[in-house]
Structure 1
Amino acid sequence: MTGFQLTEMLFFSLVILLFASDASCQTVVTYSSKYSEKLLCPITHLTVSATWSDAITGNILASYRQEKSDFEFGPPDSKHDNFHYAVSSTSFTLEIQPVEAEDEGKYICNTVGANTINVYNVSVEVLVKPTVQYESQDVDVLDGIVGTSYEHFHVLAKPTVMNGSQDVDALNVIAGTSYDLTCSATGARSESDLSLVWDPSLVVKTPLSITPNGDDYKDYSITSTYTAVRGDSNITCKLTGYVMQDEINDQRMEHISHTVNLNVQYAPVCNMSILDWEDCREVTLTCECDAVPDGITQYSFFNGSNNRNDGTSNTLTVLVAYETSSEFSCSATNDIGPGVQADAKDHDCRMPVESGGLTTGAIVGTIVAVIVVVVFLVIAMMTCKRGNEPGIEKHEMQDPTTDGAEQPEVTHIGTDEQGDEGALPTQPLNTRKSVDGGHLN
């Protein structure tokens, strides 16, 4: 390219920057040793030309013109010898392949259309992907970066966990008991301070301390309280804060974390079941327990608050009396100690009913019913007897004011001594005077 052409391109870029009708900014975060990173510059079928340039130096990197099939490149520059270009119907692409730390910077893409000039600003941040060292030895099996070295590197320090003065990889703990665990990472190096975290999280007893250890190296330490919970299998201390933490894979995680396997021991946790036989006075109790260690040294059975039996068998058959109600429960003991008493189970034993017979309540009810019926019948019979007596008398009363008048004859209808119907002897009807001169009924 001649000096005149270079001057023309620089002038053209300056004009675009000054008179651009549209501009946008974009930041691309990548990391060194990445195979490829693409920077896109949008174009359309109306785009006449597009130019990529280095915003810091002002150098044109490459230009595309619609009427030409080839790209025009700026002056040779070793810094950008890993830059490649491609054009499609929608984009004039700058591809960095492979990504290097020196590629960090700001780049501008200018597009010129029939009536528009657009400017696209792209900032590229290149994070240095660390090499890994462990115990002063290079680790060359991580992330596929064997033999690659960088200007800046991190030294990963594998944490250790101590219970008191002992380093621990496995720990026997008792549920409900608290333990102070100290996690330390010695001789770690990073461009920024790191941190130590527990998974699952623990209650911090002593905050994170960071102590210098030579040039650019630091020691990290934190003490936390772990309270053992039944079912926990492990806890892990991790050294965190590295660049591209989300890129850490399982191999690297092994070198920046320390896992303590837990054997959580606990006293027996029991549940009791009751088996009723045909005769409710005979009951079999079974005590089923979960414990670590699982060796049960003693089972205890209770009726209410009274201890019925202690032994090594988890079953017990007991006898109870008729018409009683019982509350049975159990507990067990292992090397950790006695467990909590299981929830009580109720058992009711009632007198059985013979086939075809009646219960006492039914018999009493029947007797009462019979008495009521008998009384009712007696009353009914007495009432009927009164209404149906032989010899119904008819009385006609004479006005007592008619003294001396002839008294009417009263006829008694009935039966004679021989049982024949006929007239009985008549008797005069006694009369008395009423207050109002009427008749008394």
Structure 2
Amino acid sequence: MTKTESIATDGPACGCASCAAADVPANPFVALRVAYGMLLGEDDFDALMANPRGKLMLHQAWLHGAGVVHGLDVRRDGTRNLKVLPGLAVDGAGRELYQDCTVTLDVRQLLDAAGLKDSADCSTETVDAYLVAAFSACPSAAVPVLADPCDVTRKHDEFSRIREQVTYSLRTKPGPAAVYGYHRVRVLLGLEPVLNDDGAGREALAARKRAAGVAPEQRAGALLAEFRQLAARDEIELEPAQQAGDCYPTLFPAEVDEAGVVLAAVIVSIRDADGAAEVTVEVPDTSVRNVLLPAGVIQELVCGLAPGLIGTAVTLDGGGPRVTGEAELSEQGRRLSFAVTADVLPASLRRAIVITSLSERGWVEEDIDTVRYEPNEHRVIIELADRPINDLVRLIVRGTGPTPVYGEDPRVPLAGRVGGPPGTAESGHDAVLTFSNPLLDRRAGS
């Protein structure tokens, strides 16, 4: 079976009780203002340290997020131990997690600390967990201090340093710091699927279709516009974490006690062997961790998208009209029409339009009586000599060859359908619209 409750940590790095309360202050919005002759006490120095540290934590937590910066590889050591190599990470509260040596973790101790009972029926119990690194602060370097006359203990020393360290735990869930927002932006870029009852996801999917529907040379700008709108909506929904029972939220996206960084996924098998728990750890999977890339690397990776956006050779569109939407056949079946994005020359239409249908014996070219252009509606109207009787109908509007459709202003050939490749002033693209004959569907329904 698989456990669902949280599994315990290895505790404070040094084991002392004061580690739980030891931490340097962080307040990004209060700064020390020193005046001449002012006496400085402990609170003043706390304010002096808390302001820059709080600003750094705020910046890292919101603008970079939790993740590994370098190192911290997780390896199996034997069958029941894990090794964590040196490295650096940033947690969900913007604090650095630095480890300067290799640490060996006994998985049995972690499971025992969680109160996990041994399997009494010799069956194998499987625990799917995550190895999480968390921030730990421990006071050190005691120095002599003036005794407080009101302190009955007459304490004459105090810690003068705080060591920032890392503790490790196994959890069955990655934790809030590993959950990322910006769902709309991720759907827009194809990184997340649209879920059930997902209004935000459907909104992003519609934005993706709009960006894909513009001309290729305009697609990057259209995608940027959609990205900005969706990113703004995602950002508005972001909120700082709030502890249960507190009236005010924290400053950070994750609570300080739940801000750990996932390093690896770990599968632990536990089997009772003659009254003793036999623990086996499989090879850790470090692909589940979030990695924080340097800004310079991100800049260069973005350049890798350029060929897909601008192509190997830039072709500027000549500005020719395009066919938009689908063809519409009247109820009587004698009139076929389609819309265009810009005015066309009526005299260029007749020999540039062909309508065919597929019969059992092959393709049949339908007879056309007249073709006219309605400038108010930007629509081309085709009057047929007879209604098509075959199921599959194909409309070809030529933008190539000796007799293409030409635009009114500028006078360039038809560029094809909306969303297609750019056309030049000399050569455009054909627009092909294929549809099932709706007249046959109506007859079958009647």
Query: If the length of structure 1 is used for normalisation, what is the TM-score?
Result: 0.19
Higher strand share: 1
| Greater share of helix | 2
TM-score, normalised via structure 2 length: 0.19
